[in-house]
Structure 1
Amino acid sequence: MLLKRFIFSVPWKLLLAPWQQVDWWLLALTVGITIFGGISIRSAELNQGITDWWQHWLFGGIGLALAFFLSLCRYDFLLRWHWLTYAVTNVSLIAVMLAGISAKGAQRWISVAGFNLQPSEFAKVGMIITLAALLQSRSAGKIPGVLRALLVSAVPWVLVFAQPDLGTSLVFGAITLGMLYWGNVNPGWLILLISPIVAVILFNVSLPAWCIWAVAMGAIALATMPWRWLSAVGAIGINFLAGELGHILWGLLKDYQKDRIILFLDPEKDPLGGGYHLIQSRIAIGSGQLWGQGLYQGTQTQLNFIPEQHTDFIFSAVGEEWGFIGCLVLLFIFWLICLRLVLIAQSAKDDFGSLLVIGVFSMIVFQVIVNISMTIGLAPVTGIPLPWMSYGRSALLTNWIAIGIVQSVANHRPKRKGRGARS
């Protein structure tokens, strides 16, 4: 009775007034996935004596508090300090290379008061802020604006790639392309940007397809670039050169390095080595069938057939214990999160806020697609975590900081008369 009186006596409208424009649907969805992530992590490490699941919830709670705080702050201040943000981002990445902690062949962590931070995760947000500031001041609809954005993003990309951290460097590329697209860049230019990578793949798959691709890129350059004929010849030449150069570099790789890249196509080639994760992950997801084997009932998960399943391969635990339906529900929730992000970007009060949200959108979409593709054998194992689901304190805090910035954009939109937050 006393609790009921207390609940009805609290002036909730006054307490929630500072967050009137916050997107509560987005907040609820991300909180729900974080909670579900902790449950899945606990299942994946139940018989190992590890308690990372409660740390996932603890840092999720810290991240939620940060998101609430950031939603109150005006995101405009990030525009004034974007060069400082960029400098701190690059300095932290250099510090990792000089005094970082090495593990599994990579040097990615810095120990701060006994806590291992991964600067490359926080660098994602730093790059989103910097690119948003650049693109709102100089349109990506012109070549100088595109080149400036690419040059600025290249510095942290190189530093992350040198750690080496292929997964995060790919995320940087996805963020850059997504923000350039939203910044009104010609879609043909984006195709030309990624065309050398496609040329390298096609050269090793089909020479006729490689030639057709190079000519097609020349046609796109002719239709979209300045100095049309010169650009067309340059695009064809770059794609031909990329194919040849890729073939030469491929020949310089050792066999085990080649296997890491293409083993996902035939993991049975090395079932006890590089293909082990993929084989066991596919078995786990397939054994879940329609409804799953039930929480804590998955044989592959509970018998620890998938090493470190609670990190990058957490989706395999979901597939085994919750089945096809559980996977569809999780994917639908991620779709709803992305939908809310797009709606916030469209209703932002300025280009800077809109670009910030699209940067976060690009980061989340790419990580979800690559992580899930990796666990079902459609992409190489790249070490990209599943947002809010995989265990990783730096990654989790980064995602929550990103959501806090998005909520700041939402919370400072023009208010609608007589209504609360926009949809």
Structure 2
Amino acid sequence: MLLKRSLPKFRWQYWVKPWQNIDLLLFCLPVAVSIFGGLMILSTELKQPVTDWWWHWLIAGIGAVIALFLARFRYENLLQWHWFTYGMTTVSLIAVMVAGTSAKGAQRWISVAGFNVQPSEFAKVGIIITIAAVLHKTTAAKIENVFRALAITAIPWGLVFLQPDLATSLVFGAIVLGMLYWANANPGWLILLVSPILAAILFSFAWPLSTPIVLFKDIFLTPLGLLWALTMGVLGWLTLPWRKYGISAIGSLFLNLLGGELGIFLWNHVLKEYQKDRLSVFMNPDHDPLGAGYHLIQSRIAIGAGEIWGWGLFKGPMTQLNFVPEQHTDFIFSAVGEEFGFIGCLVVLFVFCWICLRLLHVAQTAKDNFGSLLAIGMLSMIVFQLIVNVGMTVGLAPVAGIPLPWMSYGRSAMLTNFIGLGIVESVANFRQRQKYY
């Protein structure tokens, strides 16, 4: 009789045991965000439907199941397949260039069984796995290992940039920088890596401290850009190992001067008009209030209209009347601001911060460097997308096609986030050796 009473308990423990060490809070919070995101998408499409909003919940449910499935299996097995993963990632991005479908000036999707799949989203996870496998034995404390990680990233990054998908290519950069920092790379090296981007911006500013000095026909620099390049030269001399004959200083200086000139070339000959418009209206949205600046202006008005407590779910006038374009995707946070106000925005940001803290905890408690780097890669991806997406809705960042994780409508992005979550949950689940009976 005693054996019969204990049998159901034994069976329950047997079925739950494979997931007994997962970070349950880390799993539940994104699921809750996905449910709330579905409600906000429904609110944006209540009067004028653009998509089938319930797909958001359906894909989130599928993603949650995939995450639990991945958490059941040892993440260490990914080490054996990381070059295969890298190869598949690269092939999928090439396939987009050859046979992809285009929208809004970019070729980003492949049609599979009637569904549009965005390989660049899944490539984020592929890069995380590959870089974690490369750095888990040889840390980034040696600069040759940093160059190795950058060289591996360069191919998929270049393919994404050529689609063109500037926003996703920036996410790639944030992932790699975060993982390199966690792998003990010198912070000065990381500053030097992003310094050419800042140089390109400083070379283009048109204000008194940046009045262009023409050197040749199509080559010029600005005093502010030159000051930045000189500062990076000093930083290179202090941090890089090649000090003999001033190679580190001269190389850093030249890299930033080249970055500034390259930025001007990209602006004039490579960037699409819609990309230029997004960058231009960030500095002055009122310059084109009915064109490129319309999204940002309407988004800020909607968030401001919510004041402290908001209008309430399904009651925001700008959301219900579709004044904010692309609100169900890139500007979903503006719907939160209008309908739930400042307090609602704070709650959403608090939940995301909580998710990030749980990811950081998994990285700190992982049993090996590979698992720790996987968690940090996921953390870097979520943090960057959160900052840019929320920033662009309030005018603190240029408008970019970066979705808010688990909230913006997007099937590929949703599955990518849950796949990454499942891998991190596997890291958490196998922090201790498991015994199954």
> Structure 1, residues 72-114: CA drift from partner, whole Å, max 9, x if none?
0100111000000000001001111111111111111111111
Question: Which residue number in structure 2 is paired with residue 224 of structure 1?
Answer: 239
Distance 1:14 1:258 in 2: 57
> Structure 1, residues 139-195: CA drift from partner, whole Å, max 9, x if none?
211121111100100000011111111111110000010111111111110001011
Question: Which residue number in structure 2 is paired with residue 233 of structure 1?
Answer: 250
Question: Which residue number in structure 1 is paired with residue 325 of structure 2?
Answer: 307
Distance 1:49 1:250 in 2: 36
> Structure 1, residues 18-67: CA drift from partner, whole Å, max 9, x if none?
11110001111111100000000000111113553211000100000000
Question: Which residue number in structure 2 is paired with residue 260 of structure 1?
Answer: 278
- SS of 1:52's equivalent in the other structure is coil
Question: Which residue number in structure 1 is paired with residue 420 of structure 2?
Answer: 402
161-170 vs 135-144, which moves further: 135-144
Question: Which residue number in structure 2 is paired with residue 334 of structure 1?
Answer: 352
Question: Which residue number in structure 1 is paired with residue 3 of structure 2?
Answer: none
> Structure 1, residues 336-386: CA drift from partner, whole Å, max 9, x if none?
000000000011011011001100000000000000111111111110000
Change (3 A) 1:68 1:257: closer
Change (3 A) 1:108 1:208: same
Structure 1 residue 214 corresponds to structure 2 residue 232: no
Question: Which residue number in structure 1 is paired with residue 291 of structure 2?
Answer: 273
Distance 1:349 1:136 in 2: 12
Structure 1 residue 298 corresponds to structure 2 residue 313: no
Deviation at 1:413, TM superposition (A): 0.1
- SS of 1:185's equivalent in the other structure is coil
> Structure 1, residues 211-236: CA drift from partner, whole Å, max 9, x if none?
33222211211111112121111111
Deviation at 1:261, TM superposition (A): 1.5
Question: Which residue number in structure 1 is paired with residue 39 of structure 2?
Answer: 39
Deviation at 1:208, TM superposition (A): 3.7
Question: Which residue number in structure 1 is paired with residue 176 of structure 2?
Answer: 176
Contact kept? 1:42, 1:51, Cα under 8 Å: no
- SS of 2:136's equivalent in the other structure is helix
132-141 vs 351-360, which moves further: 132-141
Q: Which amino acid aligns with 2:379?
A: F
Distance 2:161 2:49 in 1: 34
- SS of 2:431's equivalent in the other structure is coil
> Structure 1, residues 385-421: CA drift from partner, whole Å, max 9, x if none?
00000000000000000000000000000269xxxxx
Tell me the TM-score normalized by structure 2: 0.90
Contact kept? 1:221, 1:235, Cα under 8 Å: yes
Distance 2:273 2:15 in 1: 62
Question: Which residue number in structure 2 is paired with residue 83 of structure 1?
Answer: 83
Distance 1:383 1:246 in 2: 20
Q: Superposition pairs for residues 83-102 of structure 1, below 5 Å?
A: 83-102=83-102
Deviation at 1:259, TM superposition (A): 2.6
Change (3 A) 1:96 1:178: same
Deviation at 1:275, TM superposition (A): 0.9
> How high is the sequence identity, in percent, across the aligned residues?
65
Question: Which residue number in structure 2 is paired with residue 420 of structure 1?
Answer: none
Deviation at 1:13, TM superposition (A): 3.4
Q: Which amino acid aligns with 1:223?
A: L
Change (3 A) 1:358 1:257: closer
- Among 393, 400, 409, the residue aligned to 2:411: 393
Q: Which runs of 5+ in 2 are unaligned?
A: 1-7, 211-221
Q: Which amino acid aligns with 1:49?
A: P
Change (3 A) 1:139 1:9: closer
Contact kept? 2:278, 2:400, Cα under 8 Å: no
Question: Which residue number in structure 2 is paired with residue 71 of structure 1?
Answer: 71
Tell me the TM-score normalized by structure 1: 0.93
Deviation at 1:204, TM superposition (A): 2.6
Distance 1:390 1:350 in 2: 33
Count of aligned pairs between the two proteins: 410
Structure 1 residue 113 corresponds to structure 2 residue 125: no
Distance 1:249 1:312 in 2: 25
Change (3 A) 1:76 1:172: same
Deviation at 1:266, TM superposition (A): 1.3
Deviation at 1:137, TM superposition (A): 2.9
Distance 1:245 1:123 in 2: 26
Question: Which residue number in structure 2 is paired with residue 421 of structure 1?
Answer: none
Q: Which amino acid aligns with 1:236?
A: L
Distance 1:242 1:307 in 2: 34
Structure 1 residue 352 corresponds to structure 2 residue 370: yes
Q: Which amino acid aligns with 2:232?
A: M
Deviation at 1:251, TM superposition (A): 4.5
Q: Which runs of 5+ in 1 are unaligned?
A: 1-7, 417-423
Runs (4+) off by over 6 Å: 253-256
Q: Superposition pairs for residues 53-202 of structure 1, below 5 Å?
A: 53-202=53-202
Q: Which amino acid aligns with 1:16?
A: V
Question: Which residue number in structure 1 is paired with residue 5 of structure 2?
Answer: none
Distance 2:98 2:50 in 1: 31
Deviation at 1:308, TM superposition (A): 2.4
Structure 1 residue 30 corresponds to structure 2 residue 30: yes
Contact kept? 1:41, 1:52, Cα under 8 Å: no
- SS of 1:111's equivalent in the other structure is strand
